[in-house]
Amino acid sequence: MRFRHDNKEEQSGNRPVISPATDAWQPLSDGLAWLRGVCVRREIPTIREDTEMVMRRILEEAQPARILEVGTAIGYSACMMATVLPEAAVTTIEIYDRSFYDAKEAIERLGLTGRIEQHLGDAAEVLPALAEAGRRFDFAFIDAAKSHYRTYFEAALSMMESGGLILCDNLMLGADLTAPGSGDKRHRTSAKRMERFLEDLRQDSRVATDFYECGDGLSVSRIL
């Protein structure tokens, strides 16, 4: 599946879509292999393997010290990022309390307590609170409610400097498209909002954005 605007981007030669090679994925640790297995068994959405490959490469190149994640689920991507960068601090937000506590257990089991700061609550409220507290980040990974990406993106941007990176996952709404009721009004609203968010991102002169076809669609925006 391709992004709807691929051709336009390729014709303009502007911020081209990149199709990364999906090398054979290997878990970074036994703990992460276990945690991905839990996600699969319990059908908990997590970053896909090829998306993880791309994220690992970007993290290794950028070496951010302060990472913000919106959408913890049970902690797979947070633990993956903390494992790739042993010096980095990860701050992650989850609205669903069961996931929050499952993530807490997983983080402990992987020996990453102290490296990952968890927040339980609606990111639309937690993000402004972090900004108010003067928190700053070098890297943000947005992976929560798909119809609110604009809000999360703006909040993350407000806490970052030039050179910082903001990644957004599930731009193709794959998880939602296969979910029961995917043709319903809520899904259509979500799809429209995502489409508008992508349009805005392409025009946004504050960032330079690449769109990756890996997994369910990933954008990588570098703050100018």
Ligand X SMILES: C[S@@+](CC[C@H](N)C(=O)[O-])C[C@H]1O[C@@H](n2cnc3c(N)ncnc32)[C@H](O)[C@@H]1O
How far apart are the two ends of the chain, measured CA to CA in Å? Answer: 29
| 142 within 8 A of 55, measured Cβ to Cβ | no
Closest CB 209 distance from ligand X, rounded Å? 20
Say whether residue 25 binds ligand X (CB under 6 A). Answer: no
- Using the contact rule CB under 6 A, the part of the chain among 56-64, 92-100, 153-161, 185-193 near ligand X is 92-100
| 62 within 8 A of 88, measured Cβ to Cβ | no
Say whether residue 46 binds ligand X (CB under 6 A). Answer: yes
Among 59, 76, 106, 172, binds ligand X (CB under 6 A): 76
Among 6, 49, 117, 122, binds ligand X (CB under 6 A): 122
Listed in sequence order, the DSSP H helices in 91-184 are: 97-109, 123-132, 149-158, 174-178
Strand (E) or helix (H) holding 161 = strand 160-169
CB closer to ligand X, 5 vs 120: 120
CA–CA dist 138, 85 (Å, integer): 13
Size of the site for ligand X (CB under 6 A): 18
Closest CB 99 distance from ligand X, rounded Å? 5
3-state helix, strand, coil split of the chain in percent (to 5) is 45, 20, 35
CB closer to ligand X, 5 vs 101: 101
Positions touching ligand X (CB under 6 A) are 45-47, 71, 73, 76-77, 93-96, 99, 122-124, 143-145
